[in-house]
Amino acid sequence: QKEVEQNSGPLSVPEGAIASLNCTYSDRGSQSFFWYRQYSGKSPELIMFIYSNGDKEDGRFTAQLNKASQYVSLLIRDSQPSDSATYLCAVNIYGNKLVFGAGTILRVKS
Amino acid sequence: GAVVSQHPSWVICKSGTSVKIECRSLDFQATTMFWYRQFPKQSLMLMATSNEGSKATYEQGVEKDKFLINHASLTLSTLTVTSAHPEDSSFYICSARDNNRGTEAFFGQGTRLTVV
């Protein structure tokens, strides 16, 4: 089992819709979870982080964490074409290592 | 805040030579730095984790004698690819974190290495 798993996609949504991205992780002791966005040829940029179970909202983005089920998700409301990118889920594994999932390609069609 | 500067942004070198990549945290103390490698259309693969003043911890399958990591100060870490070969051509990205301020890690711009 991979340490962090994501569906590679691509996930296609129409402009204005809600995009839902999911991630599961293997280390039950993980405490910190992150979503990064990466455009082609660029390095990742941090969108959100979440530490506690439940939802965390920041503008059009909502991160959801369920530690019992070991999954974390990212919702993007009112999706825009500029949101088209690869979204990377990252988890602090075993206390210190920051490990990434394979990423989900999101395509927002206008 | 939280700016990480990585240099160079791209480099072309001959097979058999060594290349050094620098990663600097400009406005915070990087108590931990991560080095990743990313091949086209693949995810970031963690190569090693380094804490300031300590030896780096390498991931399984990463040759520590080939990928030399130095984290001698709280603002600078370097990755040296020794005796580079074409299969080492990749996008190398550093990430830095201040453990005293949280667990968020911020990325440098990345270095595209091409070995010919």
pLDDT exceeds cutoff 80 at A1: no
- SS3 string, B22-89, reads EEEECCCCCCEEEEEEECCCCCCEEEEEEECCCCCEECCCCCCCCEEEECCCCCEEEEEECCCCHHHC
- Chain B, 48 to 107: residues with Cβ < 8 Å from chain A are 49, 93, 95, 97, 102-107
Q: Distance between CA atoms of B33 and A98, rounded to whole angstroms?
A: 10
- Burial group, residue B32, by CB count within 10 angstroms (0-12, 13-18, 19+): buried
Better pLDDT: A95 or B20: B20
Tell me whether the omega of the peptide bond preceding residue A14 falls within 30 degrees of 0, making it cis.
Answer: no
CA-to-CA separations, A87 to A13, A57, A102, B93, in angstroms, rounded: 14, 17, 9, 16
CA-to-CA separations, A16 to A47, A57, A77, A81, A86, in angstroms, rounded: 19, 18, 7, 9, 18
Q: How many CB atoms lie within 10 A of CB B72?
A: 11
Instruction: Give me the pLDDT at residue B1, please.
Output: 62
Task: Note the pLDDT tens digit of each residue in B1-26.
Answer: 689 999 999 999 999 999 999 999 99
Best of B3, B31, B38, B43 to mutate (most A CBs within 10 Å, chain A): B43
pLDDT exceeds cutoff 90 at A98: no
**Is B25 within 8 Å of B34 (Cβ atoms)?**
no
Q: Distance between CA atoms of B112 and A56, rounded to whole angstroms?
A: 35
SS3 label, residue A110: coil
Does residue B44 sit at the A interface (CB-CB below 8 Å)? yes
pLDDT exceeds cutoff 80 at A95: no
Does residue B34 sit at the A interface (CB-CB below 8 Å)? yes
pLDDT exceeds cutoff 90 at B103: no
Gap from B42 CA to chain A (nearest CA, Å): 7
Residues of B in contact with A32 (CB under 8 A): 103
Task: Note the pLDDT tens digit of each residue in A41-55.
Answer: 899 999 999 999 999
Q: Distance between CA atoms of A33 and B33, rounded to whole angstroms?
A: 17
Task: Give Cβ neighbours of residue B58 (< 8 Å, ≥ 6 apart).
Answer: B47, B48, B64, B67
Task: Note the pLDDT tens digit of each residue in B62-75.
Answer: 999 999 999 989 99
Across chain B, mean pLDDT equals 93
